[in-house]
Amino acid sequence: MSAIVEPVARLIEAFGRLPGVGPKTAQRLTYHILRAADAEARSLAAALVAVRDEVVFCESCFNISTGPLCPICLDPDRDEKWLCVVEEPLDVLALERTGAFRGRYHVLHGAISPMDGIGPDRLRVRELLEVCARRCAEGDPITEVILATNPTLEGEATAMYLAERLAADVASITRIARGIPVGGDLEYADEVTLVRALQGRREVESSLPR
């Protein structure tokens, strides 16, 4: 028989399923909740429920939102000809902290990873290609697409895949510079590093003719 009562064991197991949380951390989080004031524990529970009930994905860029369109897509001062492609909503937050980018975003919700069985069809790639193709057909092409996927093997593969398929519809396709260390994530980068990465972006060479 386990020495841990069932509700506690369930919470430890739930915390343990979170990314980056090991067994010891899951136990510490659980016992913190047990020792916390009743109001703090109930506030955490309410916040978790609210995230599930109230937060959706923007219908335009697929960033997190509380309505059909996120605040960035609703901002009339944003330059619609400037599009930054990122892997996750947390990457949008990281770039927004710099104040260096005033265009729009497109969130892929992941990166291409054949080893994990994640292909383009599992990401928001089709929507990105459709938007760029439609804008080009209407005579109002996007001036620049910045591929700001993470500098990992998966991120690089995703950037090259997108560059080849966007080449015919976008005037300029750039990749963020190596201000971000290889293997790093945008959400953990400081503002100075992100600004340098944006400023030092370069043209993506594609094997397809424009």
Element (H, E) at 24: helix 23-35
Reported confidence tier of residue 206, pLDDT bands at 50, 70, 90: low
Per DSSP, 205 falls in state P
Element (H, E) at 57: strand 56-57
Phi (first) and psi of residue 172, to 5 degrees: -140, 135
Sorted by where each starts, the structural domains of the chain and their CATH numbers stand as: 6-54 (1.10.8.420), 59-203 (3.40.1360.10)
Tens-place pLDDT, residues 78-123: 999 999 999 999 999 999 999 999 999 999 999 999 989 999 999 9
Q: Any residues with CB less than 8 A from the CB of 200 and at least 6 apart, and which?
A: 176, 177, 178, 179
Tens-place pLDDT, residues 150-161: 988 899 999 999
* pTM tops 0.95, yes or no: no
What angle separates helix 89-98 from helix 191-199, to the nearest 10 degrees? 90
Mean pLDDT of the residues in the chain: 90
